[in-house]
Chains A and B, each alone.
Chain A
């Protein structure tokens, strides 16, 4: 079955610390991979996406993610977290050149940032 797993429901980090949010997927075909962020009271916003090529992709707000095919993972990282990064983060996977209706979202990881 196709699925996306975000193993960590809640993560708390101190401001300035590094961050890694995990995403594992089970997908039969070549996947397109996405990370979205949902700030409090807001809709989701695209952070970054991976289609092919360089397995390390850069996104907005200083985030990056690394695609590891052998591990079926697409973990999100940031070297130094800011208080404004407190939000919920969603990993999503879909078929290459598929429709948005085929996107599968993970359950999300809620990030809290301590000053």
Chain B
């Protein structure tokens, strides 16, 4: 029972490099999202999707792109990494569009930008 799978778990980048954080879920969930977690700030929403082909911005979208070509996958792209993007990133999904259910989280991806 895989749930929400994120890769890689750890990544070190140099400023200006690009990379993609992968997120896949096997629960046929419509809703998927990306958060970043920074010390003392809790989780902040980067982007989210309510279904294949539909994405929207969250609270802190600058510097990140997403796409949702399938129900299962929701990759997060950093086009030109900056030190301010050093963080722990979480992907989450839910079968509900309304917040009456549960968000299922991946184990996180720790990104360091030098």
Contact = CB atoms under 8 A, between A and B. Distances in A.
A44 B90 contact: yes
- Interface size range on A against B: 20 to 34
Interface string B21-56: 000000000010100000011111100101000001
Contacts of A106: 42
Interface in B1-37: 4, 31, 33
A108 B31 CA distance: 24
A95 B41 CA distance: 20
A100 B42 contact: no
Interface of B: 4, 31, 33, 40-45, 48, 50, 56, 58, 90, 92, 94, 96-100, 102-108
Contacts of B43: 44, 90, 105
A11 interface: no
A32 B100 contact: yes
B35 to A, nearest CB: 8
Contacts of A102: 99
Given A101-B45, A105-B42, A107-B42, A43 B98 contact: no
B42 A99 contact: no
Given A90-B43, A107-B41, A43 B94 contact: no
A41 interface: yes
A17 interface: no
Nearest to B6: A43
A10 B100 CA distance: 29
